[in-house]
């Protein structure tokens, strides 16, 4: 029998380079409302479509948990923007991926990005999130657990 001392992991990881905005202080439910233009009632209606929530009581905690899971599970591209959230990311980063690598796929995804298009996307995200003029998009890099 082997005994291992030190770090052992069976989990996957992904690394990313993203240009965007880090929202470390906002709750996922508030970000979801702004970004996807949803009301609390819209989120509840979306939850009710899932078999688990069909007949259960939906509390504020449940809504927060659902929205957090939405961002964590998704880490998706939606309406021209990308999202990074989860273990290893402090807050939620909303922007546009420049590159992304997943240990599950063993291939780095890259794309050609026109800086004018990137600036336009950052402006659109900033407007959707109602960020103040003194907040600027930044380049973020990181590795997170999947």
Q: Are residues 9 and 103 in contact, defined by beta-carbon separation less than 8 angstroms?
A: no
CA distance 8 to 141: 24
Q: What is the token pair recorded at 144?
A: 């997170």
CA distance 22 to 131: 11
Q: Are residues 95 and 19 in contact, defined by beta-carbon separation less than 8 angstroms?
A: yes
**Residue 123 domain-assigned (yes or no):** yes
Q: Considering the entire predicted model, what is its pTM?
A: 0.75
User: Is the pLDDT higher at 25 or at 64?
Assistant: 64
Angle between helices 60-74 and 28-36 (to 10 degrees): 70
**Residue 29 domain-assigned (yes or no):** yes
**Residue 9 domain-assigned (yes or no):** no
**Residue 80 domain-assigned (yes or no):** yes
User: Is the pLDDT higher at 87 or at 6?
Assistant: 87
Residues 105-116, mean pLDDT to the nearest whole number: 73
Q: Are residues 129 and 39 in contact, defined by beta-carbon separation less than 8 angstroms?
A: no
**Residue 8 domain-assigned (yes or no):** no
Residue-range definition of the domain harbouring residue 79: 14-141
**Residue 4 domain-assigned (yes or no):** no
**Residue 3 domain-assigned (yes or no):** no
Residue 10 has pLDDT above 60, yes or no: no
**Residue 114 domain-assigned (yes or no):** yes
Residues 5-18, mean pLDDT to the nearest whole number: 65
How many structural domains are present in the chain?
1
Per-residue pLDDT of 29-85, as tens digits, reads 898 888 888 899 999 999 999 898 888 999 999 999 988 887 776 555 656 788 888
Per-residue pLDDT of 118-137, as tens digits, reads 999 999 999 988 999 999 99
């Amino acid at each position: 029998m082997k005994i291992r001392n030190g770090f052992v992991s069976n989990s996957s990881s992904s690394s990313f380079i993203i240009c965007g905005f880090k929202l470390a202080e906002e709750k996922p439910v508030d970000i979801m409302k702004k970004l996807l233009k949803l009301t609390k009632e819209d989120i509840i209606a979306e939850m009710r479509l899932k078999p688990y929530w069909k007949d259960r009581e939906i509390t504020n905690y449940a809504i927060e948990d659902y929205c957090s899971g939405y961002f964590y599970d998704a880490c998706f591209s939606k309406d021209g923007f990308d999202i990074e959230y989860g273990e290893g990311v402090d807050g939620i980063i909303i922007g546009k991926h420049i590159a992304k690598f997943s240990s599950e796929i063993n291939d780095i995804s890259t794309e050609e990005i026109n800086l004018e298009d990137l600036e336009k996307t950052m402006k659109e995200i900033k407007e959707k999130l109602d960020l103040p003029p003194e907040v600027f998009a930044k380049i973020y890099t990181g590795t997170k657990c999947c």
